Amino acid sequence: MKFKSFISICVLFISLSAYSQDLKSPEANKIAQELKKTINQSISKIIEYERAAGNLSDTFKFSLKQGLEENISLGLIVNKKTKEVILISPGSYADNVGVKSGDILEAFFINKKEVTKLTELSIQQGDKTTFHINRNGVKVELNDYFYPNEPIPAWELTLVQNKPITEENNHHQKTATLNNYQCATLSTFFTPPAAKSLYPVFLTKVNNTKVNSDDRIIRVRPGKYKLVVHHLIPFNELIHAKRYKSNSNRFLELDLEVEADKSYYLASLFDNKSRYKKANEKFWEPVVWKSKDKPCKWE
C-alpha cells in the first residue's frame, strides 16, 4: 500500500511545544501562546488558498527564513490623515521617550531634519530625535537620542512531513478541503403532494444547531447530518384528537447524507393506517420526497 504524509509545522526559533520550559516571564509565555495561534491560523490560510488554487500535491511545503536584523522601529503607529498616535508598543523607543496613544504627532525630526514619512525611516544609533506633540491642546516637545531595541534574532519556519497515511485517508483529506467551497440546500419551501400522504414540515435543528423555523431554504456543506423535523400534518388527518395535542411525536429525527450541488426537499410521510392509533404511537416519519441536481453557492 502506498503511503503519503500529512503536513505539520516546525518552527526553528522558539520551540512552541516546550516554550513554557524555556521562557521565564509570564509576559513572554503569553506572547508565545499568541505566536503559536497566529502561526497556526496563518499556515491554515496558506494551505487553504493553495488548495483552492488547485495545489493538491501531497509533498506541498515551503520555508521562510530571516537573518539577524536590527530593530530600528520607533514602535508607534500613526493615523496618516489625523496624525493621531493610535498605538504604542510597550517598551519601544517611542514609549520610552514619552509618546502616548492619543497624542497628535505634528512633526518629527532626526538631527533637526524633518521626516514626513515614518514608513521611509532612515535612522542610526545616536541620532537625535525630536517629537512635536499636541497632547490635549498642549504643545509638547520630546527630545532624545535614538537607540535600537534588542535585535530580532534569526528564525526559520518550515512545513515538514511527519505522519504517514494511506491513500484512502489522503482522499478523505482532499475531499474535506474541497467541501469547504461546496454546498447543498435543504428545502421545506415547496408543498409536497398530499395525494401521496406527504405533508409540509419545518426544521428545528441541524446537527444540534437550532434553526429558525422561518428559514425554508438552508445551505449546508456536503456531509452527514442529523435533522430534527416538525410535521405540519393537518388536523383533519389526525382523527385521534389527543394525538394532535400531543408533542411526543411532532418532532422526529432524520439522518441524511448530503452531496454537493443538490437540493433536498423535506416532507412528513403520514401513515394512513395509523390514524386511529394512540397519541404516543408513531404515525409519521420525516422523508426526502424529492432531490435534484442544483448548483449551490455560498452568498
Residue 8, strand partner residues: 160
**pLDDT, tens digit (0-9, with 9 covering 90-100), for 92-141:** 888 889 999 899 999 999 999 998 887 767 788 888 999 999 999 999 99
pLDDT at 138 (0 to 100): 92
> How many other CB atoms sit within 10 Å of the CB of residue 225?
19
Flag whether pLDDT at 167 surpasses 80: no
Which grid cell sits at 260?
Answer: 454537493
Which domains are seen in the chain, by residue range? 3-68+153-179 (no CATH), 69-151 (2.30.42.10), 184-293 (no CATH)
Flag whether pLDDT at 293 surpasses 70: yes
Q: Average the pLDDT over each of 49-53, 113-117, 123-127, 155-159 and give the range with the smallest value.
A: 155-159
* pLDDT band per the 50, 70, 90 thresholds, residue 193: very high
Mean of the per-residue pLDDT values of the chain: 76
Helix (H, G, I), strand (E, B) or coil at 113: strand
Flag whether pLDDT at 1 surpasses 50: no
Return the residue matching grid coordinates 535614538.
Answer: 146
Q: Rounded to two decimals, what is the model's pTM? A: 0.42
Q: Exposed, middle or buried, 74 (CB in 10 Å: 0-12/13-18/19+)?
A: buried
Of residues 40, 44, 59, 258, the one with CA closest to residue 170: 59
> Greater confidence, 204 or 38?
204
> Greater confidence, 297 or 65?
297
pLDDT at 133 (0 to 100): 94
> Greater confidence, 61 or 245?
61
Which grid cell sits at 186?
Answer: 435543504
**pLDDT, tens digit (0-9, with 9 covering 90-100), for 257-282:** 999 999 999 999 988 776 666 556 77
**pLDDT, tens digit (0-9, with 9 covering 90-100), for 195-208:** 899 999 999 999 98
